[in-house]
């Protein structure tokens, strides 16, 4: 039984999925928060069904799994009542504890807490760059300046830790939780008038980290080409976000 390769919209019929106890992953193809969960599922090599949701015209039935209509959502079909989890970090924490192969959260309670705090601080990076990253014509003039200031925290943290990854010598939860945006940042070169790129000197450690993480097999397995990100953002700028553009390119 195959699920149509499309984003389900308002008025669509809920897809029929097999009762096989396999995880059901509700996503949007270009959503960085959904990308977080995709990375965890790939890192843990967990079988799952993907169902894509149109975030502008959300199907009515989707609130059964995500009351606020947000993605990602993960339905636990192997659990009594088949509950669904929402919020990317909550889902990541559940998957890491439930499936201990290749652990990503630190086993040290203090380090685990510090890593969660660092991930929460990345919200400042996201909120600053979001208007520019999504080609919003009303983006604040100092958006990129605020973005760089927020990103300085992560450059300095990488220096402080003195390791290849935020997780140490092996990739950890912080690495995967912030990676989706680093995959998308290069699209700024094509979607900004000044052809913006991260300053090679100011962010030299983060750029080395980005190159290193891009070689990870899990990252490769979930990657989307920068030109596809650019095309999607341009469709949003035109007022008609084409969620299915990734499938049309195949």
CATH code of 231's domain: 1.20.1050.10
Cα–Cα dist 22/43, whole Å: 16
pLDDT at 250 (0 to 100): 54
Co-location of 94 and 113 in the same domain: no
Residue 115 and residue 94 share a domain: no
- At which of 58, 77, 102 does a domain end? 102
| Residue 250, in any domain of the structure | no
Both 22 and 135 in one domain: the answer is: no
Same domain, 157 and 50: no
Q: Is residue 167 part of a domain?
A: yes
Clarify whether residues 113 and 98 are in a common domain: no
Which residue is it, tokens 């995880």?
23
CA distances 53 to 7, 147, 159, Å, are 5, 29, 39
Return the structure tokens found at 148: 């760089």
Task: Tell me 60's DSSP state.
Answer: G
83 and 180 fall within a common domain: no
Whether 62 and 11 share a structural domain: yes
Its domain, for residue 71, covers 7-102
In a domain? residue 247: no
Which of these three, 74, 102, 130, is where a domain ends?
102
In a domain, 122, yes or no: yes
- 150 shares a domain with 122: yes
The predicted model scores a pTM of 0.96
Radius of gyration for the alpha carbons in the chain, expressed in angstroms and rounded: 18
- How many domains does the chain divide into? 2
List the one residue out of 207, 81, 191, 183 whose CA is nearest residue 136.
Answer: 191
The pLDDT of residue 2 is 64
CA distance 17 to 235: 31
Catalytic residue among 23, 31, 92, 178: 31
DSSP 12: P
Strands 23-27 and 73-75: antiparallel
21 and 126 housed in the same domain: no
Is 151 a domain residue? yes
pLDDT of residue 239: 83
Question: Quick check: is 115 in a domain?
Answer: yes
Instruction: Determine phi and psi for 84, rounding to 5 degrees.
Output: -120, 140
Is there a contact between 26 and 72 (Cβ–Cβ < 8 Å)?
yes
Q: Output the domain CATH number for residue 65.
A: 3.40.30.10
Give catalytic status of residue 31 as yes or no. Answer: yes
Is 229 in the same domain as 114? yes
Shared domain check, 115 and 141: yes
**Cβ atoms of 55 and 200 closer than 8 Å:** no
Residues near 105 by Cβ (< 8 Å), separated by ≥ 6?
93, 96, 97, 112, 115, 172, 173
C-alpha distances (whole Å) from 215 to each of 39, 90, 155, 175, 223 are 14, 26, 20, 13, 11
In a structure prediction context, what are the per-residue pLDDT tens digits for the chain, which is 250 residues long? Answer: 468 899 999 999 999 999 999 999 999 999 999 999 999 999 999 999 999 999 999 999 999 999 999 999 999 999 999 999 999 999 999 999 999 989 999 999 999 999 999 999 999 999 999 999 988 889 999 999 999 999 999 999 999 999 999 999 999 999 999 999 999 999 999 999 999 999 999 999 999 999 999 999 999 999 999 999 999 999 988 888 999 999 986 5
């Amino acid at each position: 039984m195959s699920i149509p390769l499309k984003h389900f919209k308002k008025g669509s019929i809920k897809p029929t999925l097999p009762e096989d106890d396999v995880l059901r992953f509700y996503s949007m193809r270009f959503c960085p928060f959904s990308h977080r969960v995709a990375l965890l599922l790939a890192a843990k090599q967990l079988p799952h069904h993907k169902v894509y949701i149109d975030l502008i015209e959300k199907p009515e039935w989707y609130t059964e799994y995500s009351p606020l209509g947000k993605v990602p959502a993960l339905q636990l079909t192997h659990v009594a009542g088949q509950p669904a989890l929402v919020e990317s970090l909550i889902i990541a924490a559940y998957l890491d504890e439930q499936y201990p192969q290749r652990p990503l959260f630190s086993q040290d309670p203090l380090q685990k807490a510090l890593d969660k705090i660092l991930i929460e601080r990345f919200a400042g990076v996201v909120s600053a760059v979001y208007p520019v990253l999504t080609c919003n014509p009303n983006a604040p003039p100092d958006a990129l300046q605020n973005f760089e200031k927020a990103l300085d925290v992560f450059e300095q943290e990488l220096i402080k830790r003195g390791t290849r990854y935020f997780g140490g010598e092996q990739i950890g939860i912080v690495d995967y939780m912030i990676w989706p945006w680093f995959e998308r940042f290069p699209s700024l070169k094509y979607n900004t008038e000044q052809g913006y790129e991260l300053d090679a000197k100011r962010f030299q450690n983060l750029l080395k980290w980005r190159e290193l993480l891009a070689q990870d097999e899990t990252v490769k397995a979930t990657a989307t080409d920068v030109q596809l990100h650019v095309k999607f953002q341009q469709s949003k700028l035109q007022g008609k976000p084409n969620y299915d553009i990734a499938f049309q390119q195949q």
